Amino acid sequence: MLLLLTIRAQQTMSYPEVESTSYKFYQEGKWNELINYSKKARQQGIDFFYLQVRTGIAYYNLKKYRTASEFFLNAWENDQSFDWLQEYLYYSLLWGGRAQEAYKAAGNFSPATQKKIGFTSKKITRAGIEAGYVFNPDFDALTQTLHGEQASVGENYGEAFYLKDYHFESVDFNHRISPGISLNHNFTHINLNREQRVDWIEKNLFSTNTRQFQYFVSPNLLLGRKFYLSPSLNLIWGNFSYANGVLSGNNRSFGNTTVYFKDLVFSVSGWSHFGNLSPGAEYNYANINNAAFSQYSLWTTYYPFSNTGFYITPRIYFKRNKQGSFGYYALGVSGGIQLGPVHLYGQYINGEMENFIESGGYLVSNFPGTSKQKIAGSIYFPAGKKYQFVLRYINQDVTEKYRVYTNLTESNSVNYNYVKHTLSAGISWNF
């Protein structure tokens, strides 16, 4: 019993001892020793302001910014007067993938610290432009395939729209309403070209065009300490022109028809941060091509090194249609890695994707057809302090239908497949 009491007494720490030893480790830059020692002190109920900041600095110097930020936040709640603590807090949040929290905290920093970190009260925070080209390398092969014979069109009306290419242009504009609230805007124009094939006794070919416009708006709100809420609205409108067959007696002819359309997507996303995990959920309501449906998704971003140098996000999607059926939709994984000044981002999605919604309603695949697989990659690299370039590539398979109509009613169809490739480039300015 005496030996047991002696061992327990030897293990007991005191505040003066923890203060002295932790400061010694801090001065010598022994970060791992400081972290392990502070853990033991907290296990015995010893914690105070300088132990918190020293532990945070230890994690910070090991580039474990997400862990460091928790200690700096606790210290910040106790004393907000130190400029050096403000700076540590700001960069640990920023480099830990919690930029909105960093901006919100910076709104309460001293003028000297705000000037040093480059924080201003300017409302405009970012602007960007991006343009891209999408092409179908299978176009020639598709147009030469005898889909009419495969579908037994005979003397009926057979029709398909083969994607040739399209280009798009996008403008982004972001501004800050308050340190914890920002508003993002995007306007996108798409010009899409198809070849319409009509088998009606004989083969007929027509060029068709779709012009689409999108306006996306999304506030980003930081509620409390670390809960994010982001509703969004994507308004889509445009027109589609095509050749329409007309039968008058025994005479067959074609007229040009233009269809005007309006689609919309409303989304709400919420997420938070817990250590090296950032879980989130999203709800989307959409009305696309006069079909209403809801889409749901759950995800968790994992930062294995407690910073944004590498992260991975698995995500699962579900869908409910207007008939009320609910089920699995798709599974995706995305991630990024920082290589010096260059950031690489990749994404893979697999499922039965039709009118698929991504990125909080920002991306909407509202064109005809379904897709089972999407592979995407982006390269971001800076140019100076305020500019950033991005190059993207997307590879996505698409399945569409050649349809046969008898007396204006679809009577048969065959599927055809192709892979579309997207190349885009953009530049953004940070104000």
Q: Do 335 and 190 sit in the same domain of this protein?
A: yes
pLDDT recorded at residue 11: 67
Q: Is residue 125 part of a domain?
A: no
The region that residue 224 occupies, defined by phi over 0 for left and psi between -120 and 50 for alpha, beta otherwise, is left
Is residue 336 located within the same domain as residue 213? Answer: yes
User: Does 124 map to a domain?
Assistant: no
289 falls within a domain: yes
pLDDT of the residue at 2: 38
- Give the domain extent around 148: 130-430
What's the confidence (pLDDT) of residue 8? 44
Please tell me the predicted confidence (pLDDT) of residue 62.
97
* Side chain identity at residue 195, one-letter code: E
| 138 & 44 share domain | no
Per-residue pLDDT of the chain (431 residues; tens, 9 = 90+): 433 333 444 468 999 999 999 999 999 999 999 999 999 999 999 999 999 999 999 999 999 999 999 999 999 999 999 999 999 999 999 999 998 899 899 989 999 999 999 887 778 889 999 999 999 999 999 999 999 999 999 999 999 999 999 999 999 999 988 888 999 999 999 999 999 999 999 999 999 999 999 999 999 999 988 899 999 999 999 999 999 999 888 888 999 999 999 999 999 999 999 999 999 999 999 999 888 999 999 999 999 999 999 999 999 999 997 777 888 999 999 999 999 999 999 999 999 999 898 877 777 877 888 999 999 999 999 988 889 999 999 999 999 999 999 988 999 999 999 999 999 999 999 88
Q: What is the CATH number of the domain that holds 87?
A: 1.25.40.10
SS3 389: strand
Q: Which of 60, 93, 117 is the last residue of a domain?
A: 117
Is 123 part of a structural domain of the chain? no
- Whole-prediction pTM value? 0.90
Check whether residue 149 and residue 264 sit in a common domain: yes
Q: How many domains does the chain have?
A: 2
Reduced to 3 states (helix: H, G, I; strand: E, B; else coil), residue 417 is strand
List, in sequence order, every residue forming a beta bridge with 157; answer none if it has no partner: 405
Q: Which of 117, 139, 174 is the last residue before a domain boundary?
A: 117
Same domain for 157 and 183, yes or no, is: yes
Q: Looking at the structure, do residues 113 and 155 belong to the same domain, yes or no? A: no
**Are 150 and 85 found together in one domain?**
no
Which of 74, 91, 117 delimits the end of a domain? 117
Does residue 225 lie within any of the structural domains? yes
Residue 309 token pair? 């140098």
Domain shared by 112 and 150, yes or no: no
